[in-house]
Amino acid sequence: TQGHYQPLKGKKVVITAGPTRERIDPVRYVSNFSSGKMGYAMAAAAQKLGAETVLISGPVELTVPSGVQIIHVESAADMYDAVLSQFDDASIVVKSAAVADYRPKSVHTQKMKKKAGDDVLELERTTDILKSLGDRKEHQLLIGFAAETTDVIAYGQKKLESKNLDYIIVNDVTDPGGGFGSDTNVVTLLSREGEATPFTAMPKDQLAVRLFETILQQEGGKLDVR
């Protein structure tokens, strides 16, 4: 059921979530432990606040929030294509996905057979999707995530600037109240204006609504033109 408070009505919000999988051969891949919970919570929150919501998701074990349009992807390259196809008419783009920074340099078409002794897997960089969006953004409000273990605020601010973001949500993954797989999270919202808003530990679905509300507050009337 939809609440009456719908500040995102008429806006298209695109959210990415979950890990990506980078294939090694037909039966193996490189990935990470992202559960997708924060991204799915962001999608549910956007939908609840009235947005037309598109969720671009890597492989996760979660139920798609009702009313949300889902695009399933596997690799970082798939996610890049899907995000770009949704970017032009988006008002807000939230990149919660834990995109692989590296992928195997060559994908074997046949299953790799073991050999005597050790082996080395060569990796190459994937495209930084968020940075590409930062380079091409026009009216879009661009929101990133960062997981850090030290100097959380300083590293977060640096990422916000280098990727040309409007906001970044930084996560101290060493904090016992949050992180991969957890149902709760502890984050600080950083704005391009240098404002830092800390949030106490709370369930990810509640946190997601608070994050959107705080961003809308900080944007004031400026969101109307997006």
| Catalytic positions | 32
Measured from the Cβ of residue 132, the count of other Cβ atoms closer than 10 Å reads: 15
Residue ranges binding ligand CTP (CB under 6 A): 76, 95, 97, 99, 101, 126, 128-130, 144-147, 159
- Judge whether 50 and 131 are in contact, CB under 8 Å: no
- Judge whether 9 and 34 are in contact, CB under 8 Å: no
Based on CB atoms, which residue is closest to ligand CTP, 49 or 99? Answer: 99
Q: What is the CB-side half-sphere exposure of residue 195 using CA atoms within 13 A? A: 10
Based on CB atoms, which residue is closest to ligand CTP, 50 or 58? Answer: 58
Based on CB atoms, which residue is closest to ligand CTP, 102 or 199? Answer: 102
Q: What is the closest distance, in whole angstroms, from the C-beta atom of residue 2 to ligand CTP in the complex?
A: 28
**What whole-number distance in Å separates Cα of residue 78 and Cα of residue 188?**
29
Amino acid found at 55: L
Q: What is the closest distance, in whole angstroms, from the C-beta atom of residue 214 to ligand CTP in the complex?
A: 18
123-125/167-172 β-pairing: unpaired
